[in-house]
Each structure stands twice: as structure tokens, then as C-alpha cells.
Chains A and B, each alone.
Chain A
Amino acid sequence: MNDRDPELSRVLKSWPHQPAPAPRFNAEVWARIEAARTAPWSAAAVIARAFGIPAQHFRWVLPLGASIALALAALAGAGAGLLQTAHARTDRMAAAYVRTIDPLQMTAGPQP
């Protein structure tokens, strides 16, 4: 490639470049830099980007995801507790009920 190609020089000189006016260009660049600096490089950020969530929102994506995960964990734990309690109570009540109509169990004494 010849750097002194007169034809290329002529074309470059004649190329009029007029960027679109961007009055907030500086502020937006600094906002993106700030967002990138504070955004955690995490799976949440990658997933958020995959869903098209802008980088400046990463700072709340992670706490929100964590809060949802904690709430789901609490719900799952409470649900399992309720189910197991209900199952145990049904079992206990059914055993007590049968004891009231089964003479063999009545005469055998209390069950463990």
C-alpha cells in the first residue's frame, strides 16, 4: 500500500465528515464508564445483557435476583414444612381414629 498515493490523498481531503450533534455525548460516555465500573461482572450481568438489559441497570439486577431467590427459598421451605406437617397430622389422626374402632388396638395399649 502506498501512503503517498495522490489519488487517496485527494479522496480523503474531499471526504466531508459531519458527526451528528450530541450535546450529552460527554455525560453519556462518563455514565457508561461509571456503570461498567460499578456493575458486577457476574452471571447475573451476563444474563441481563443477554436479555438486553442495559449495563447501567446491572447494579439492581443482582440484588433483585438475589431477593427473588431468597423469597423463593423461604416460600419453598415454608411450603415443604406445611406439607410435611399436614401429612404427619393426617397420619396421626388416622391412626388415632382407627384405634377408636379396632378392639385389638384398644386392648394392645397405646401405640408408639
Chain B
Amino acid sequence: MRRLAAFLVLIVAVAAGAYGVTRYVNSRQPPEDQWTWLRREFELTPAQLARIQALHAAYAPVCADHCSRIMAAQTRLTALIQAGRQDTPEYRAVLDQWEAVRRECNAATLRQLQAVAAAMEPAEGRRYLAMMEPRVATRDHLGPLGVR
């Protein structure tokens, strides 16, 4: 019975060791390039990858515009807070502006995801959306100056 118990301990130790070594070896591999990962993960053809890269390139200026508008609103909000003017109509107006930009950004990001998904095979596109959309939607908990 003791030999059986010792053997079971050995089995668990071997399994745990193999698990640990595999995780360690894999964690030391260099991170993949974003496009390499996207192509491999969603089995993109060269044509699909080129189409998606073009979509991203077209979206980059829109994204940059949204970024600058968000940062401008955040800067104004920070300045108003530092001046102790949080209860003023001006602060509420900038906050409303920030909220409008946030909604616009969210909608644009989701549209971009759907456009990219449409460039993939239907099944892969659905998997892509299922993987990416929750990561955008979870940003609803953000406030203008950090976590709400």
C-alpha cells in the first residue's frame, strides 16, 4: 500500500514537472508579431491579410483623431478639477463632451472589428468578433480620468 502511495506521488510529481517545464519553455519564446499572430490564429489567406491591413491603415487616422479628442477632454477635465470647478456647468459640459466622444469611439471601434471580421472566412470572423468585442465592451467601466 505504501509503495502504491509512493507511486501515486511520483505520478503527480511527473505530471506537475512536465507541466512546469512546458510552461517555462513556452514562456521563454519571443512574443509574436501582431500580424503573424492574426494570420495564424484566424487562418488568413495572404489576400485576407492584405485586406485587413488596408482596413487598419484606413482606420489609423480615425483612431488618432479619437485619441486626440479624448485626451483634449481629459486635459480640460483635469484642469477644471485642479481649479476646484467640479460643480460648474463648464465641467458638466466637458464631461458630456467626453461621454459623447467615448460613445463615438466605442461605436467606431466596434465597426472596425466588424469590418475586419467581414474580411475573414465566416466562421473565423464570428470567432474573431467573439474574442474581440468583449474586450472593447468591458471598457465601459472607464471614467474620463481612469477607473470609475
What residues on A are CB-neighbors of B63 within 8 Å? Answer: 101, 103, 106
A-contacting 9-mer, from B17-25, B86-94, B117-125: B17-25
What residues on A are CB-neighbors of B22 within 8 Å? Answer: 77-78, 80-82, 85
Fill in one digit per residue for B110-131: 1 if any A CB lies within 8 Å of its CB, else 0. 0011000000000000000001
What residues on A are CB-neighbors of B136 within 8 Å? Answer: 98, 102
A-B contact count (CB 8 A): 106
Provide the bound-state CA to CA distance between A70 and B12, in Å: 9
A33 at the A/B interface (Cβ < 8 Å)?
no
B-contacting 9-mer, from A9-17, A21-29, A87-95: A87-95
Most buried by B among A77, A84, A95: A77
Given A77-B18, A78-B22 in contact, is the A101-B146 Cβ separation under 8 Å?
Answer: no
B56 at the A/B interface (Cβ < 8 Å)?
yes
Choice from A74, A97, A104, A108 contacting B34 with Cβ under 8 Å: A97
B interface SS class: helix
Residue positions of B touching A, CB distance < 8 A? 4, 7, 10-12, 14-23, 26-27, 31-32, 34, 37-38, 41, 56, 59, 63, 66-67, 70-71, 74, 102, 105-106, 108-109, 112-113, 131-132, 135-136, 139, 142, 146
Provide the bound-state CA to CA distance between A75 and B15, in Å: 7
Establish whether residues B41 and A93, one from each chain, have CB atoms under 8 Å apart when the complex forms.
yes
Establish whether residues A74 and B15, one from each chain, have CB atoms under 8 Å apart when the complex forms.
yes
Choice from A77, A93, A98, A102 contacting B32 with Cβ under 8 Å: A93
A46 at the A/B interface (Cβ < 8 Å)?
no
Establish whether residues B10 and A70, one from each chain, have CB atoms under 8 Å apart when the complex forms.
yes
